[in-house]
Structure 1
């Protein structure tokens, strides 16, 4: 049975779990004493237990395993899990994914036609607001033990997690309140630039306070996570603040690349490529963990949720697919991809069907199930066979064994939120956008490391002449699809809302159409606006 540090902590913090339904970033938990009782922060061991909740609130959804006593209300609990909503907002809104379900607000994500009352955008705001509030409460209370070196480490980790929540908030919502203490006062709204500066200053401030590279327990962040998030932040600076920071993106990408983390090249299951090990049930031990800078940890017995990788595995199974081959007891018949993603692998096609559609590829990242599936999507709703299925995430380990949950309901596979491959691609893009301190030759070397892993040899390698910004965008699609990155990437390339790049059902049209520019950010929840008169709704909503 897979157990790691954070998963062990889940088992010892039931008294600390908070039930909250936040109306804004300033709201206290419903049980405000949960984080302030003397025994919770009596010593470093107790503080470590409280720290677990900050990690757990991104991975799980409530107080009773997969369902029951949810942390936030107003939406199905499993749907409300952080990474499941990140998938909904950053993948379902793009060329990477469609889903056949008709849950209220879900079809609007495909059509890029959501409103301020959308269930998914609202729940994501609440989830991130909750994380900020939990972190604020932890930091305030842990400061009473700040003379303890261990607790200083915990506070630095809490500050990272708060910065990570705000990174998401400025990406998804733009101008939001900046709240660093628990308060009953209605906060003022801060600009995207101000939130950006806060995230930057926090990460710079804690980089030396976090444990050294690789020195922390698996499942907890170290200073490399701060460097990696800075690289991501600076890569998007021009969009979010109007000021390009590509040189800084290169600086921190280099620090990550020169750390103890590395690209996984361990082909543990012997299939000729080490790429799929990143998404197997034992990816905390099979070598993939060396690439994971920040990941959400799941265990089919001890950290159960209907979000996370349980969602990514079950929801992607339907049609003629054999669920047992993925280590689970059945499929939910929802998620597929569009031909726009499949076509990114056209250069690597090794076999076509009788209609000339690709069915096999030399690039191992092309993880598609094609039998009985059509490349074209004529109908999204309730037609799983329209669109290729994706087999990227599975609950099978490197030895071919299913995960620890004997019932096959819940998945062991951990989910990387930041991994070294992304930082390679950040470096390459920042160099091509004019950042100094790097060079194109090194960028080509990094790209070829990824492609050699994908092809199992050098047959997919590129030369300097092949490397341009469009290539990097396509390579990001091939390497990182379904990992919560795509919408942010398309916005940075000015492809998300414009007619310059269309995909099936963009804007609600079968062949795709442009949408209004304001769709680059989501609306603040309508009920938040009604509660707090200090807030102004994002333009267009």
Structure 2
């Protein structure tokens, strides 16, 4: 049975005394972040609920942007707080650098993402790096403060200590998730754990392979070990919190991209961990449409917390998680031109995000996943800065599956689906095609399950199911969900001339770009702060 009805952990986040404290306790892991609180652990962790509130802040580091909503006291500096939300930054790194998304705005550094012309001073890649290590440092401090010895010191009861063991597993998961994002985007980064002495000399740089091994071992330890720190079984976590399936998805992602990260084919491991998720039968594809929305589109609406196909989400609540990132960004930014914001449950549109013609052409006319607004929009993009150049994509909407508006027209209730069952299906199929074993018949069945749910029938044959089809199907199924950059890198189509899309490389027809752009640069600010770091090749 899945626990999907409440966001109680996120409600715990909004306890101001603890929100301010957490930043101060955790800041010292990152030499570029300064503490903001003088409160001490000895006066805080003896209070009832302190560890749950701290855990809520760890989850909230992927969601909210600071100490109050929607802005005013940000977690990280050097960037507008609205730009600084973790998932907005991550989404931009994975989508604006590809064919799937283009933006009309001209904020400093934003056009460089689509043009593949960023450098070490780019404010968005720098803020993404800071966000990753902010989450890591918070997680480390949680683990320092929740050891058996510390719990005894704080007078935590034996029953609560058992509960906190699961909290520790969740903190380790969230740290591993952030580290996966770190090696995916930046490559060789520092490996800082709870054993690192805060305030000591700057941490050393680790290789991608070392971080890979650490993330792998951590995720296995909190799912497969006989220790006390374990995530709930697949499907048994409270909604918005991690269960074993969330950890299995990160493991499968590591293994899927192992050829990029460590030069190894780990497709057999992809099959193992996606099979664990699929065979648990705790998650299922949405199959029932409503009068207003297809079964697929229900995954991206204001009541998508009821969708059984979402494995791990970043919950949004219009009154309790107010910020200008996440699905606030993804609901507002694609609305402009002749679009009526009220039709999407919004007070106004931001007239920014669209997609490119090759993405539109990837869908057939009957595919329920082709969620485009075309009236008054041209498919071709002559001017990136003109919102009506390019089709709009109102995939994320602040209305429910029955058409009711979200509770707040500025801040949507629509949760961000970080991991979905459909992705596990496609990962399994790709791993089979890459020689990982498994069943070719099952791979075909899983793909056709997705095609059937999209209104296309079971139309794919065994001869049609090849790697290029999988790449295209991943784009159709997972468009604007933060997967496209690493998919294109894994398939050798990100910087090369094997695939050109409009405005790739800064020209309308598209052009090949430099291979070093498969990694983002370490921020110039971080290099100045930590002399142990060496910049990624290709960046001066």
Structure 1 range deviating more: 8-17 or 502-511: 8-17
d(CA) in 1 for partners of 2:420 and 2:29?
31
Provide the residue aligned with 2:173 in structure 1: 160
Change in CA separation of 1:160 and 1:29 when aligned onto 2, cut-off 3 Å: farther
Determine which of 167, 178, 185 is the counterpart of 1:172.
Answer: 185
Residues 312 and 420 in structure 2, CA contact (< 8 A), matched pair in contact too = yes
Provide the residue aligned with 1:354 in structure 2: none
List gaps (5 residues or longer) in structure 2: 153-157, 225-229
Determine which of 2, 5, 11 is the counterpart of 1:8.
Answer: 11
Provide the residue aligned with 2:221 in structure 1: 205
Task: Classify the secondary structure of the residue corresponding to 1:199.
Answer: helix
Provide the residue aligned with 2:348 in structure 1: 330
Provide the residue aligned with 1:422 in structure 2: 423
Q: How far does residue 488 in structure 1 lie from its aligned partner after superposition? A: 0.5
Provide the residue aligned with 2:397 in structure 1: 394
Q: How many residues align?
A: 516
d(CA) in 1 for partners of 2:168 and 2:479?
33
How big is each residue's C-alpha offset from its partner over 1:360-395, in whole Å with a ceiling of 9 and x where there is no partner?
xx11100000000001000001x1000000011000
d(CA) in 1 for partners of 2:468 and 2:528?
42
Change in CA separation of 1:535 and 1:422 when aligned onto 2, cut-off 3 Å: same
Q: How far does residue 70 in structure 1 lie from its aligned partner after superposition? A: 0.3
Q: How far does residue 6 in structure 1 lie from its aligned partner after superposition? A: 2.6
Provide the residue aligned with 1:403 in structure 2: 406
Determine which of 466, 488, 491 is the counterpart of 1:490.
Answer: 488
How big is each residue's C-alpha offset from its partner over 1:211-257, in whole Å with a ceiling of 9 and x where there is no partner?
11222211110111111111111000111001111101110010011
Determine which of 284, 295, 320 is the counterpart of 1:274.
Answer: 295
d(CA) in 2 for partners of 1:238 and 1:255?
22
Provide the residue aligned with 2:249 in structure 1: 228
Provide the residue aligned with 1:187 in structure 2: 203
Is 1:57 aligned with 2:73? no
Q: How far does residue 270 in structure 1 lie from its aligned partner after superposition? A: 3.6
Q: How far does residue 271 in structure 1 lie from its aligned partner after superposition? A: 4.8
Task: Classify the secondary structure of the residue corresponding to 2:272.
Answer: helix
Provide the residue aligned with 1:126 in structure 2: 130
TM-score, normalising length from structure 1?
A: 0.92
Question: Which aligned pairs between 1:109-120 and structure 2 lie closer than 5 A?
Answer: 109-120=113-124
Change in CA separation of 1:52 and 1:372 when aligned onto 2, cut-off 3 Å: same
d(CA) in 2 for partners of 1:33 and 1:525?
28
Task: Classify the secondary structure of the residue corresponding to 1:466.
Answer: coil
d(CA) in 2 for partners of 1:372 and 1:479?
25
Residues 27 and 138 in structure 2, CA contact (< 8 A), matched pair in contact too = no
Is 1:254 aligned with 2:275? yes
Provide the residue aligned with 1:69 in structure 2: 73
Q: How far does residue 482 in structure 1 lie from its aligned partner after superposition? A: 0.7
Provide the residue aligned with 2:44 in structure 1: 40
Task: Classify the secondary structure of the residue corresponding to 1:58.
Answer: coil
How big is each residue's C-alpha offset from its partner over 1:488-509, in whole Å with a ceiling of 9 and x where there is no partner?
1000001000000000000111
Residues 24 and 528 in structure 1, CA contact (< 8 A), matched pair in contact too = no
Task: Classify the secondary structure of the residue corresponding to 1:423.
Answer: helix
Residues 261 and 292 in structure 1, CA contact (< 8 A), matched pair in contact too = no
d(CA) in 2 for partners of 1:272 and 1:403?
16
Task: Classify the secondary structure of the residue corresponding to 2:187.
Answer: coil
d(CA) in 2 for partners of 1:373 and 1:451?
27
Q: How far does residue 26 in structure 1 lie from its aligned partner after superposition? A: 5.6
Task: Classify the secondary structure of the residue corresponding to 2:41.
Answer: coil
Change in CA separation of 1:12 and 1:430 when aligned onto 2, cut-off 3 Å: same
Change in CA separation of 1:22 and 1:118 when aligned onto 2, cut-off 3 Å: farther
Task: Classify the secondary structure of the residue corresponding to 1:228.
Answer: helix
d(CA) in 1 for partners of 2:33 and 2:114?
34
d(CA) in 2 for partners of 1:152 and 1:145?
11
Residues 213 and 224 in structure 1, CA contact (< 8 A), matched pair in contact too = yes
Question: Alpha carbon RMSD of aligned pairs, Å?
Answer: 1.8
Determine which of 314, 321, 326 is the counterpart of 1:303.
Answer: 321
List gaps (5 residues or longer) in structure 1: 350-361
Q: How far does residue 439 in structure 1 lie from its aligned partner after superposition? A: 1.4
TM-score, normalising length from structure 2?
A: 0.92
d(CA) in 1 for partners of 2:167 and 2:37?
21
Change in CA separation of 1:523 and 1:504 when aligned onto 2, cut-off 3 Å: same
Q: How far does residue 471 in structure 1 lie from its aligned partner after superposition? A: 0.3
Question: Which aligned pairs between 1:428-447 and structure 2 lie closer than 5 A?
Answer: 428-436=429-437, 438-447=438-447
Provide the residue aligned with 1:477 in structure 2: 475
Residues 327 and 395 in structure 1, CA contact (< 8 A), matched pair in contact too = yes
d(CA) in 2 for partners of 1:467 and 1:194?
35
Task: Classify the secondary structure of the residue corresponding to 1:464.
Answer: coil
